[in-house]
Chains A and B, each alone.
Chain A
Amino acid sequence: MIALDSRPRLAAKARIRFDRKTARYLLLYPERGLVLNPTAADIAKLCTGEHTVQAIVERLAERYAPQPREQVERDVMSFLATLAERGLMQAEP
């Protein structure tokens, strides 16, 4: 479980790039890549180690209004869990 006050940062091996062919962002890491949907891309871009999970949720809830905040929080937590599972994120205290 990722704490709301932790500050997620993409792992050193992961890098975001825009893919012209699909107009999606890709999260690239050795020999692999994840195709990010627009929400996932917005979250990944905020995983810089500066923002808390809480702050990421708030910022995106604002951007995605009127989508309920709980829904945004669920999306953020689920995407961060996916990243953590793949070793693509470190959560800093």
Chain B
Amino acid sequence: MSDAYRPYTLVAELTYRCPLRCVYCSNPLDYARHTDGLATADWLRVFREAEELGVVQLHLTGGEPLLRDDLEALIEGARALDLYTNLITSGIPLGRERLARFRSLGLDNVQVSVQDVAASSSDRIAGSRAFERKLEVARWVKELGFPLTLNVVLHRENLDHVEQIVALAETLSADRLELANTQYVGWALTNRRALLPTAAELDRARRASAAAHARLRGKMEILFVMPDYYSEFPKACMDGWGRRFIVVSPDGLALPCHAAHTLPGLSFENVKDRHLEAIWGQSGAFNAFRGEAWMPEPCRSCERRALDFGGCRCQAYLLTKNAAATDPACSLSPDHGLIEAARQEALSAHSGDFEYRAPRPGVRK
């Protein structure tokens, strides 16, 4: 494979289990079907195969990776491969001693998520009493000498709190703040009516973030990720299908993105059956949306096709039932009306009625 297809990042979804029930969880709706199928030795082999392929960044995530009691061994193995290892966690359940062990084993960065700036609103989104414990974990992260990334997923219930979120990140001495607007796949699509903001709400938040970005330059990195629904052109989802990322699901499927296994018609191979290099280079699923031959119009002749690669395949499928369609988030897509209708819907009052992440979808609360 040429350098155009070199993975830099392995996203290791160690388990889909999680004590939280966030209403925008990016795990698939049928996550409970994908049990933890990889043993410690399997994961360590996957890390090694990934590193040989060119991966230098490792995200240990889930679900909640802390639920794996072999996390120590995985961190140690990752460090031995010189991977830049980032633990992406809710912070629950975690004691200070375990976090200190992670530090001594060579973990590079800890990313803690909070859902808002106050316990009541944050816990409402998480579907769990978690906020105060998360803040305690974030403080330990810094006390133990780790760099801290604070991640907050934005939506209409917290978009107006960007200034307070920045203040919280400053109080915690976060090194990086991710203000990531909800992307409407998985559970977030289920809850879109309650989460999708209006253009005006989004604009205020973006301006608040830009002001903080300028003020804190060189001190705290602030990343504001626009929701696709309000972008004129789609994002280069995962930097393009099968170009820079490999996601491995808890049951061992090697995927180009977190939700790829929800696309019909593609069969994903398991890291237990085949070497990662062969899967990356040869599997039908990884090659399905590489290059431009798969692209329909208007992508195929679009001057932006090498910038956004046609956008998000999962979003295309979820909204149009065709995974090879132009991402409807693109203003040039023939299906863009679907996005405009959702924006229109966001202008009317919302219910705040969530469906929490649960093993069997469809139970509203």
Residues of A within 8 A of B (CB): 11-13, 15, 17, 19, 21-22, 26, 28-31, 33, 84-87
Nearest neighbor of B51 in chain A, beta-carbon distance: A20
Q: With A13-B108, A21-B3, A21-B54 known to touch, is A28 a contact of B84 (CB < 8 Å)?
A: yes
Alpha-carbon gap, A21 to B147, bound state (A): 27
Interface residue from A12, A17, A29 paired with B82 (Cβ < 8 Å): A17
B272 within 8 A of A: no
Contact call B218/A87, Cβ cutoff below 8 A: yes
Interface residue from A22, A30, A84 paired with B218 (Cβ < 8 Å): A84
Report the minimal beta-carbon distance from A15 to chain B, rounded to whole angstroms.
6
Nearest neighbor of B86 in chain A, beta-carbon distance: A30
> A15 — which chain B residues lie within 8 A by C-beta?
84, 108
Interface residue from A13, A19, A33 paired with B176 (Cβ < 8 Å): A13
CB-CB nearest 8 A-B residue pairs: A13-B147, A28-B84, A30-B109, A21-B54, A12-B147, A87-B218, A17-B82, A13-B175
> B219 — which chain A residues lie within 8 A by C-beta?
87
Alpha-carbon gap, A87 to B108, bound state (A): 16
Report the minimal beta-carbon distance from A1 to chain B, rounded to whole angstroms.
13
Contact string, B31-45, partner A, CB cutoff 8 A, digits 1/0? 000000000000000
> A85 — which chain B residues lie within 8 A by C-beta?
217-218
Interface size, chain B (Cβ < 8 Å)? 24
B238 within 8 A of A: no
Contact call B57/A31, Cβ cutoff below 8 A: yes
Contact string, B307-345, partner A, CB cutoff 8 A, digits 1/0? 000000000000000000000000000000000000000
B29 within 8 A of A: no
Alpha-carbon gap, A33 to B108, bound state (A): 14
> A26 — which chain B residues lie within 8 A by C-beta?
56
Q: With A13-B108, A86-B221, A87-B175 known to touch, is A33 a contact of B56 (CB < 8 Å)?
A: yes
Alpha-carbon gap, A28 to B79, bound state (A): 13
> A29 — which chain B residues lie within 8 A by C-beta?
84, 109, 147
Q: With A11-B147, A12-B147 known to touch, is A31 a contact of B56 (CB < 8 Å)?
A: no
Contact call B221/A87, Cβ cutoff below 8 A: yes
Interface residue from B9, B54, B86, B220 paired with A87 (Cβ < 8 Å): B220
> A13 — which chain B residues lie within 8 A by C-beta?
108-109, 147, 175-176
Nearest neighbor of B178 in chain A, beta-carbon distance: A31
B305 within 8 A of A: no
Q: With A21-B3, A21-B6, A21-B54 known to touch, is A31 a contact of B218 (CB < 8 Å)?
A: no
Contact call B145/A12, Cβ cutoff below 8 A: yes
Interface residue from A22, A30, A86 paired with B149 (Cβ < 8 Å): A30
